[in-house]
Structure 1
Amino acid sequence: MKNEEAGKVKTRLAKTVGDEKALEIYRKLLTYTRDQVQPLRVIKEVWYSRFIEENDLWSMGDFKKQLQKGDGLGERMSEAFRRSFEEERMENVVIIGSDCAELTTEILGEAFRQLEDHDIVIGPADDGGYYLLGMSRFIPALFTEISWSTGAVLEQTLEKADKEHASYHKLEELHDVDEEKDWELIKYKFESE
C-alpha cells in the first residue's frame, strides 16, 4: 500500500481530478478495502510502501504492519510472499491491492477456499491485471519478467503458472480504479459518505 501522500497516490487518476481529489478517493478505497478484510478470520497484514504509519485506519483492528522491500512492484510482492511463507510459516497467502471497490469479504473468503485445492488463486481485473493473487506455496517465477502496470500482467502471470505446472483458479473479473472513468463506474458506492 502506498503511504497516503498527495501527489504520490493514484497518479493516473490525479492527472484529471488533481492530487487532492485523488488522495481523497484513495482514502475511500483504503477504508472500503479495510472494511472488507476486517471480518476474515485470518492473519491480516498491511504492507506500507515507504514508512509505517503509527495512527491510521489500519491501527483499528488486528492488522500487523509491515514495510515493503524491493525496487519494483514484482520484487515487493515476491518478497512479501517469501517472508510470509518462509519466515512466518503461513500455509496460504493472499495479497490484494486497494484499487478495487467491487472486492467483497465473500470473494476474499472464496480465494482462501480455492487455495485448499489449487496452488494459485487470481482475481482478474478488467484492465488486464489482477486485484488479488494468492498462493498455497511460494512460486517466485510469478514475479519475474512481467510487464507491470500494463494490460499483459494477468496473461503473463498465468503463462508463468503453466510453466511452473501450478494449478490455478480464476475468480470473477472486477474493475480497478486507475483513471477517472473507472471512478465514475463505482463512485455511487461512496455517495452517502
Structure 2
Amino acid sequence: MNNNSMADAALNRLVVFARYPELGRVKTRLAADIGAEAALKVYRQLLAHTRAVVASLPVHKTVWLAEAGPAADLTDEWTGYEQLPQPAGDLGEKMQAAFAHDFERQASAVVIIGTDCPGLTTAHLTDAFDALRTHDVVLGPATDGGYYLLGMKQLWSSLFTGKSWSTDTVRSATVADVKQLGLRLHLLSELSDIDTGADLRAWEATTGKTFEQGLRVL
C-alpha cells in the first residue's frame, strides 16, 4: 500500500448497526416463522459473518448498538470497534446521525452496513470504498427493494428523509434522491438480506446449503 492509499484508508470509516444477541428481541420477523431460539442462532451466525468479512479492512470501525434488553448477551464482543448507542428516531434519523458523527471528524468516506446479509464479502466492502474515490454515493441493493450498504463522501440529508423504511420502495426512493441531487452513483451487486422465513428458505434454495453450512464457506 502506497502512502496515498494509506492516507485514504486512515480517513475511511465503516459503520455497523447491530443489536446484542437476545432471545425474542432479534430477527423478530424471522422468529415468527422459525421460532425465537432458531432466529437467535441465525442472528449469532450473521454477527459472526459480518465481523469476519470486516476484520481485514484497514478502516476505522464503529458499531452503533441498539438498547439492550434485560436478557441481552452483553458479553458479545466488538473488540477493535468504537462502540456507541443508537440514537432515538427512525432508521433514517439513526443513519443520518451515524454519518454526521464521522463526517464531523473529517472522514473522507463513510460506509454503513447492517448484520442481515449473508452474501456480504470483504470484496464488496473494498469495492465500496474504492468506488467512493470517483463517485459520490455507493449503494448495495438488496433483493427486497432496500439496500444492504450505503456509502457517501459527504452528508446528503435528503437520502434519509421521506422514506418508508423496511419497505420495497427504499432503494428506488434513494436512487431518485441521488439523481435529483446530480450525484455520481455506483451500484454494487444485488444481495439478499435475511429478515423472514421466506428469505431464509430462498437463500438456502439458491445456495443449495443449509444456512449454517453456507456461512461457513462465505
* TM-score range relative to shorter protein: over 0.9
Say if 1:11 and 1:22, in contact at 8 Å, map to a contact too: yes
Match of 1:164 among 173, 176, 181: 181
Give the match's secondary structure for 1:81: helix
Between 1 and 2, higher relative CO (CA 8 Å, sep ≥ 6) is seen in 2
Q: Which runs of 5+ in 1 are unaligned?
A: none
TM-score, normalised via structure 1 length: 0.92
Q: Contact conserved, 1:31 with 1:57, CA < 8 A, in 2?
A: no
Query: Residue in 1 aligned with 2:86?
Result: 68
What whole-Å deviation, never above 9, does each CA across 1:117-148 have from its counterpart, x for those lacking one? 11100000000000000011111110000010
- TM-score between the two structures when normalised by the length of structure 2: 0.82
Residues of 2 paired with 1:53 and 1:132: CA distance?
26
**Residues 76-155 of structure 1 aligned to structure 2 (within 5 Å):** 76-86=94-104, 88-155=105-172
How far apart are residue 41 of structure 1 and its match?
0.5
Q: CA deviation at 1:3?
A: 2.6
Query: Is 1:36 the counterpart of 2:36 in the alignment?
Result: no
Q: How many Å separate the matches in 1 of 2:76 and 2:67?
A: 15
Structure 2, unmatched stretches of 5+, are: 1-17
CA distance in 2 between partners of 1:148 and 1:82 (Å): 19
Aligned to 2:75: 55
Query: Partner amino acid for 1:152?
Result: T
Paired residues, number: 190
Instruction: Give the 3-state SS of the residue equivalent to 2:78 in structure 1.
Output: helix
Q: Closer, same or farther in 2 for the Cα pair 1:102/1:155, shift >3 Å? A: same
Q: What RMSD in Å do the two structures reach over aligned CA positions?
A: 1.8
Say whether 1:12 aligns with 2:12.
no
Residue identity matched to 2:91: L
- The AA in structure 2 aligned to 1:57 is E
Deviations 1:144-189 (A, max 9, x none): 0001000000000111111222211000000100111222324635
Q: Distance in 1 between matches of 2:20 and 2:90?
A: 16
Once the two structures are TM-superposed, the CA of residue 2 in structure 1 deviates from its matched residue by 2.2
Q: 1:54 to 1:11 in 2, by over 3 A?
A: closer
CA contact (8 A) 1:70 1:79 kept: no
Deviations 1:73-115 (A, max 9, x none): 11100100011101x2211000001000000001100000000
How far 1:53 moved relative to its partner?
7.5
Instruction: Indicate the SS of the match to 1:58.
Output: coil
Identity of aligned residues (%): 43
* Contact 2:131 2:186 (8 Å CA) reproduced: yes
CA contact (8 A) 1:100 1:176 kept: yes
Q: In structure 2, what residue type is equivalent to 1:5?
A: E
Whichever of the two has the greater Rg, that structure is 2
